[in-house]
Amino acid sequence: MKSDAFGRFHPAVCFLYFVGAIGFGVVIQHPAYAAAGCIGAACYYLVLRGRAAWKRVLSLLPIFALLSVINPLFNTAGSRVLFFVFGRPYTWEALCYGMAIAAVFVVMMLWFSCYNLVMTSDKFTSLFGNLIPALSLLLVMVLRMIPSFLRKASQIQHARQSIGKSVGEGSRISEKIRHGMTVLSALTDWALEGSVVTADSMRARGYGTARRTNFQIYRMTAADWTLLVLIVLLAAAVLLAGGTAAAYTPVLSIEPLTWGFAAYCLYVLIPTALHVKEAVLWRISISKI
């Protein structure tokens, strides 16, 4: 994945932005807000992944439809009955409510897809390394060990293969499980013995004698502060302006839009706008050459 304009900002700014975006996305069930959230998150995901993103975005459509249609089967509140299913009313209001919940789900999935691409594990641990030193050290260790253990596991499997102890396609499931257990057992032995060496080395180098310092590659620049202030102001505007409430059952009551909606639209489009701005600047600077 190529790095994008928003992802290059300080991890704290990005993290705060995603907390806000996902938080608003989950809490606000107003149809206009949900639609804006879907568009904002989908645009950013397209920026991040390019063509490959379409598959994921389109795969959410059937989920949206399914979730919307299923809700009235369980939620029978509502006044306008469309038809009866198994003697239970299937109401228009419940269908709308289902659509809103499904949209909230889609927004959440899209934002999390973006989050996974932007907030990589190194950014996460550098952000929380000072706040929770022991736990983030634990996390860093685990993240480093998983690939190393997988490599070792495949070495063990190859070694077993060379003495004719591998499992093929035709083997019974109990044989396969036994084989897997042997590999896992050997892996555990190796890993635990290695952990003693690691722990002794940590002690020898003075782990626990003083506060752990950590390597910080990210610095808050003027641009980071500007974006942070913008994010906080827009979020405050959405919270203060109101007009986000929407009730679906027993009757539809959706609050009219206020200027808070404009703030919300700006909020969800920030990452895409940053990308577009950068692309435009790039074009201009090329045409000058």
Partner 1 sequence: MKKSALFSILVIVLLIPATLYLGSRLSGHWYYLTSTLIIVEIMIPFFLAFETRRPQARELVTIAVMAAIAAASRAVFAFIPHFKPITAIIMITGIAFGPEAGFLTGAVAAFASNFIFGQGPWTPWQMMAFGIGGFLAGLLFHNRKLTAKPLWNAVILAVYGFFSILLLVGPLLDSCTIFTMGTEITPAFVGTILLSGAPVNVTHGVSCAATMLLFSKPLLEKLERLKTKYGMMEARRDGV
Residues at the contact surface with partner 1, assessed by CB under 8 A = 23, 26-29, 67, 71, 74-75, 77, 94, 97-98, 101, 105, 108-109, 112-113, 115-116, 120-121, 132-135, 137-139, 141-143, 145-146, 149-150, 153, 167, 173, 176-178, 180-181, 183-185, 187-189, 191-192, 194-196, 198-200, 202-203, 207-208, 245-249
Ramachandran angles phi, psi of 276, nearest 5°: -60, -45
CA distance readout (Å), 201 to 153, 177, 198, 206: 24, 36, 5, 9
Q: Which is nearer to partner 1, 186 or 273 (CB)?
A: 186
Cα torsion angle, 213, 217, 222, 228, sign: negative
Q: Which is nearer to partner 1, 29 or 272 (CB)?
A: 29
Cis peptide before 271 (omega within 30 of 0): no
Q: Which is nearer to partner 1, 252 or 276 (CB)?
A: 252
Q: Which is nearer to partner 1, 50 or 250 (CB)?
A: 250
| β strands within the chain, DSSP E | 81-85, 88-91, 246-247, 253-254
DSSP-assigned states of every residue in 49-81: HGGGHHHHHHHHHHHHHHHHHHHHHH----S-E
Distance CA 26, CA 103 (A): 10
Q: Which is nearer to partner 1, 115 or 230 (CB)?
A: 115
CB 39 within 8 A of CB 267: no
Closest separation in Å from C-beta 5 to partner 1? 22
DSSP class of residue 83 equals E
Angle made by CA atoms 247, 251, 252, in degrees to the nearest 5: 50
Q: What is the CA radius of gyration of the chain?
A: 26
Closest separation in Å from C-beta 136 to partner 1? 10
Q: Which is nearer to partner 1, 27 or 233 (CB)?
A: 27
Closest separation in Å from C-beta 55 to partner 1? 15
Environment class of residue 38 by beta-carbon count within 10 Å: exposed (0-12), middle (13-18) or buried (19+)? buried
Q: Which is nearer to partner 1, 2 or 205 (CB)?
A: 205
Closest separation in Å from C-beta 157 to partner 1? 8
Per-residue tokens: 217:
């590659």
Closest separation in Å from C-beta 229 to partner 1? 26
Closest separation in Å from C-beta 187 to partner 1? 7
Closest separation in Å from C-beta 135 to partner 1? 6
Closest separation in Å from C-beta 221 to partner 1? 27
Ramachandran angles phi, psi of 280, nearest 5°: -65, -45
Q: Which is nearer to partner 1, 192 or 222 (CB)?
A: 192
CB 98 within 8 A of CB 69: yes
